[in-house]
């Protein structure tokens, strides 16, 4: 069968070959369609392709930057990484191996999940290449359980595993259990949580965040359920009282401007049939984050 050009191309942002081949691209998109340990409502394995499909409709011009970042930097979309069906741990180790190889290219890596345990593999792969770094986690959930449903590699344990690698700053948290609250109290040097309710009442956390991340190497992990379910209902475990679009952008601007972001991921999109706004939001958020990071690396 002969190959024929598709319109638009099925890569992130639907870019033509001159802006989306590997050599010409400063940014890499790695889709990881994986949701084996999801506890409430599944479907996150369909997230990466939904984000990529929606991204072809995102405007390339960014008004804040007065630029078309994707055309300036180039974005290469990798083939999806298959999960290792033997175990959650094997999948995480496979992600770590892929991420360390990609991080060594010197390009900016963005991983699309998949469930949040994907981020543990990303963090381990980054640690192999960069050594120590700080993780900034946007999430409704603390994800600090030591084990859940019989595995330490559940999505509910993501931040606990990442905190074994280096310190974690969490923003938007509004759901945790008693043991997680105790862990937070007893480990202030490893995990700092900014709770959504406090953030809603007082925006001084932005200043504190800026001081904490300034000059640091940062891995940014965005669980889309940090956003309010009114604008992001398409997640497995939605929680009321989440961040708005502009709150989220304010956080991203500070982190991308003050820190050296070495990689980021965007996880937990679980598409809802008939409702396309959530995947478009996710695509626009990923493009914005990528643009903020690359425009600072000039
Ligand atoms: Mn979450």
Domain ranges of the chain: 18-296
Going from the Cα of 225 to the center of ligand 1, the distance in angstroms, rounded, reads 5
- Least confident window among 50-59, 82-91, 203-212: 82-91
Give me the DSSP letters along 93-146. HHHHHHHHHHHTTTSEEEEEESSTTHHHHHHHHHHHHH-S-EEEEE-SB----S
Cα–ligand 1 centroid distance for 298 (angstroms): 32
pLDDT band (50, 70, 90) for residue 277? very high
Protein residues near ligand 1, an ion, with CB under 5 A: 139-141, 223, 225
- The predicted pLDDT at position 8 comes to 73
pLDDT of res. 39: 73
- Output the CA 201–ligand 1 centroid distance in Å: 21
User: Averaged over 194-210, what is the pLDDT?
Assistant: 98
Mean pLDDT (whole number) for 92-98: 97
**pLDDT tens for residues 102-114?**
999 999 999 999 9
Say if residue 256's pLDDT is above 90: yes
pLDDT category of residue 285 using cuts at 50, 70 and 90? very high
Degrees (nearest 5) of the Cα angle 78, 266, 50?
A: 65
Give the pLDDT mean for 174-187: 98
- Specify the pLDDT at position 278: 98
* Confidence (pLDDT) at 298: 54
pLDDT in tens, 110-141: 999 999 999 999 999 999 999 999 999 999 99
1 pLDDT tier (thresholds 50, 70, 90)? low
Mean pLDDT of 168-184: 98
| pLDDT for res 2 | 63
**Across residues 208-230, what is the average pLDDT?**
98
Q: Give pLDDT, residue 36.
A: 87
* CATH class, range 18-296: alpha beta
Residue 292 pLDDT exceeds 70: yes
What pLDDT sits at residue 186? 98
Predicted confidence at residue 9, as pLDDT, reads 79
Residue 32 CA to ligand 1 center (angstroms) comes to: 17
Q: Is the pLDDT of residue 5 over 70?
A: no
Is the whole model's pTM more than 0.75, yes or no?
yes
Q: Provide the 10 A C-beta neighbour count for residue 163.
A: 21
Q: Contact at 8 Å (CB) between 120 and 152?
A: no
Give buried/exposed letters for 28-41 (b at 16+ CB in 10 A, else e): bbbbbbbbbbbeee
DSSP 170-184: EEEE-B--HHHHHHH
Q: How far is the CA of 44 from the centre of ligand 1 (A)?
A: 12
Ligand 1 center–CA 175 separation, angstroms: 9
Mean pLDDT taken over the chain: 95
pLDDT band for position 219 (cuts 50, 70, 90): very high
pLDDT for the residue numbered 42: 80
Q: How far is the CA of 226 from the centre of ligand 1 (A)?
A: 7
- 268 Cα: distance to centroid of ligand 1 (angstroms): 7
Helix, strand, or coil (residue 31)? strand
* Range with lowest mean pLDDT among 26-40, 166-180, 242-256: 26-40
Contact 284, 224 (CB under 8 A): no
pLDDT one-digit tens code per residue, 47-76: 999 999 999 999 999 999 999 999 999 999
Per-residue pLDDT for 10 more than 90? no
Query: Measuring CA to CA, which residue among 51, 67, 16, 55 is closest to residue 295?
Result: 67
195 vs 9, more confident = 195
C-alpha distances in angstroms, 157 versus 43, 47, 68, 71, 241?
19, 20, 38, 38, 22
Determine whether 249 is exposed, middle or buried from the number of CB atoms within 10 Å of its CB (0-12, 13-18, 19+). Answer: middle
Cα three-residue angle 268-274-276, rounded to 5 degrees: 55
Least confident window among 25-39, 60-74, 225-239: 25-39
Ligand 1: centre distance to CA 160 (Å): 13
Cα 204 to ligand 1 centroid, rounded to whole Å: 23
Give residue for tokens 């994907």: 118
């Amino acid at each position: 069968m002969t190959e024929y050009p598709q319109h638009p191309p099925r890569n992130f942002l639907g870019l033509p070959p001159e802006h989306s081949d590997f050599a010409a691209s400063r940014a890499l998109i790695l889709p990881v369609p994986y949701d084996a340990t999801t506890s409430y409502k599944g479907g996150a394995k369909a997230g990466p392709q939904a984000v990529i499909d929606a991204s072809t409709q995102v405007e390339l011009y960014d008004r804040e930057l007065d630029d078309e970042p994707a055309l300036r930097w180039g974005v290469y979309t990798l083939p999806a990484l298959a999960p290792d069906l033997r175990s959650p741990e094997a999948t995480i180790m496979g992600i770590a191996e892929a991420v360390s190889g990609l991080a060594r290219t010197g390009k900016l890596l963005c991983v699309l999940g998949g469930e949040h345990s994907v981020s543990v593999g990303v963090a381990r792969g980054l640690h192999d290449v960069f050594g120590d770094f700080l993780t900034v986690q946007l999430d409704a959930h603390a994800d600090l359980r030591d084990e859940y449903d019989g595995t330490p590699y559940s999505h509910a344990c993501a931040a606990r595993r990442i905190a074994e690698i280096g310190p974690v700053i969490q923003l938007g948290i509004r759901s945790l259990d008693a043991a997680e609250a105790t862990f937070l109290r007893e480990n202030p040097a490893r995990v700092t949580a900014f709770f959504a309710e406090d953030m809603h009442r007082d925006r001084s956390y932005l200043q504190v965040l800026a001081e904490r991340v300034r000059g640091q190497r940062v891995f940014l992990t965005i669980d889309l359920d940090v956003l309010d379910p009114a604008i992001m209902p398409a997640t497995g475990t939605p929680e009321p009282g989440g961040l708005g679009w502009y709150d989220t952008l304010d956080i991203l601007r500070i982190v991308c401007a003050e820190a050296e972001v070495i990689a980021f991921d965007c996880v937990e999109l679980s598409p809802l049939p008939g409702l396309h706004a959530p995947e478009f939001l996710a695509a626009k958020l990923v493009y914005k984050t990528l643009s903020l990071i690359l425009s600072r690396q000039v």
